[in-house]
């Protein structure tokens, strides 16, 4: 392209440079070590992407790995809240230091840099993407086996630019049952394919409600279309998470590390397998 400004986030041309996203990935801080980076995406907001990101980090941490969460959802950051982290980010001469949660998960989020948690982030796309890049380049991520990235929701400019700036080893798509009947999941799948990032699979959140008395599973949104969508887009089903007051409580109280349930175990097996495949 003759007028290339090298900012693919602000350009819609499908040129050779866009097709090779590795060209513009940012390098990690030289004090950091991160083995695998998994992006957690959703076609739209509010489907439980942050919940899944946090539960994945907790599940792999329970299996003995060092895990971290990079909160790239800059305009709607919820990671510090679900982990009950209130402190501001500290820095030393080499870079920014992530906060460490009670069970030892390292996290970095824009909320740890704002003066007040409830200050809105009203920045434009390039500034947001620049912030996420800095979370990668300027934060000292020590000895991380698995980093989970809570991606900005949707398939627009900001998630696209974030996709392009981080060296993701795979992505997990989070959906709600309603999304599966629309084109939203297709857009998320196609964005990952455009970026040449392997899709590890799909997690259906709010999949059902289980009666606390008789154990019956009720599909509140009607019969699930998960299998159908997984077959259509050639996706592996990583898990189904019920809608439960317990999950809502652990998020609200900032104690996600105490969640009980085995919904993320299959996803964790698949993630461990990436490691084995690479060896």
Is there a binding annotation on residue 48?
yes
Is there a binding annotation on residue 273?
no
In the bound state with ligand ATP, the residue whose beta carbon lies nearer, of 4 and 220, is 220
Relative orientation angle of helices 226-233 and 184-194, to the nearest 10 degrees: 30
Is there a binding annotation on residue 43?
yes
Min separation Cβ 259 and ligand ATP, Å = 10
Min separation Cβ 225 and ligand ATP, Å = 18
Is there a binding annotation on residue 84?
no
Is there a binding annotation on residue 44?
yes
CA distances (Å), origin 155, targets 69, 173, 183, 199: 21, 12, 12, 15
Q: How do strand 170-175 and strand 34-42 relate by DSSP bridges? A: parallel
- Residue 147: strand, helix, or coil: strand
Q: Cβ distance 132 to 138 under 8 Å? A: no
Residue ranges binding ligand ATP (CB under 6 A): 42, 45-51, 73, 76, 78, 153, 205-206, 241, 243-244, 247-248, 251
Q: Cβ distance 69 to 150 under 8 Å? A: yes
Min separation Cβ 5 and ligand ATP, Å = 29
Min separation Cβ 256 and ligand ATP, Å = 9
In the bound state with ligand ATP, the residue whose beta carbon lies nearer, of 37 and 51, is 51
Relative orientation angle of helices 125-137 and 157-165, to the nearest 10 degrees: 20
Min separation Cβ 73 and ligand ATP, Å = 5
In the bound state with ligand ATP, the residue whose beta carbon lies nearer, of 18 and 49, is 49
User: 209, 12, 254: which is closest to 109 by C-alpha?
Assistant: 254
Is there a binding annotation on residue 176?
no
In the bound state with ligand ATP, the residue whose beta carbon lies nearer, of 75 and 137, is 75
- Nearest-CB residue to ligand ATP? 45
Catalogue the E-assigned strands of the chain.
34-42, 67-71, 90-92, 95-97, 99-100, 106-108, 144-150, 170-175, 199-204, 209-210, 217-218, 237-240
Is there a binding annotation on residue 39?
no
In the bound state with ligand ATP, the residue whose beta carbon lies nearer, of 28 and 70, is 70
Binding residues: 43-50
Binding residues for ATP: 43-50
């Amino acid at each position: 392209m003759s007028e290339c400004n090298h900012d693919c986030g602000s350009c819609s041309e499908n040129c050779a440079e866009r097709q090779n996203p590795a060209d513009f990935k940012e390098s990690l801080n030289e004090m950091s070590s991160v083995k695998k980076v998994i992006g957690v995406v959703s076609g739209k907001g509010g489907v439980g992407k942050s919940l899944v990101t946090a539960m994945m980090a907790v599940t792999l941490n329970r299996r003995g790995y060092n895990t971290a969460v990079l909160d790239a959802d800059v305009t709607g950051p919820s990671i510090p809240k679900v982990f009950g982290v209130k402190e501001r980010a500290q820095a030393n001469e080499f870079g920014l230091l992530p906060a460490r949660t009670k069970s030892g998960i390292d996290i970095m989020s824009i909320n740890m840099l704002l003066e007040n948690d409830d200050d809105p982030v009203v920045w434009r796309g390039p500034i947001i993407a620049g912030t996420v890049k800095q979370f990668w380049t300027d934060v000292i991520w020590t000895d991380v086996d698995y980093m989970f990235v809570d991606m900005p929701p949707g398939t627009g400019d900001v998630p696209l630019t974030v996709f392009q700036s981080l060296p993701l080893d795979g992505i997990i798509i989070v959906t709600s049952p309603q999304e599966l009947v629309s084109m939203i999941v297709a857009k998320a799948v196609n964005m990952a394919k455009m970026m040449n990032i392997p899709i590890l699979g799909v997690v259906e959140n709010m999949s059902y409600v289980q009666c606390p008395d008789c154990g019956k599973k009720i599909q509140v949104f009607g019969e699930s279309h998960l299998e159908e969508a997984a077959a259509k887009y050639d996706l592996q089903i990583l898990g189904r998470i019920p809608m439960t007051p317990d999950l809502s409580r652990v998020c609200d109280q900032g104690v996600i590390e105490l969640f009980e349930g085995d919904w993320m175990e299959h996803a964790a097996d698949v993630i461990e397998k990436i490691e084995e495949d690479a060896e």
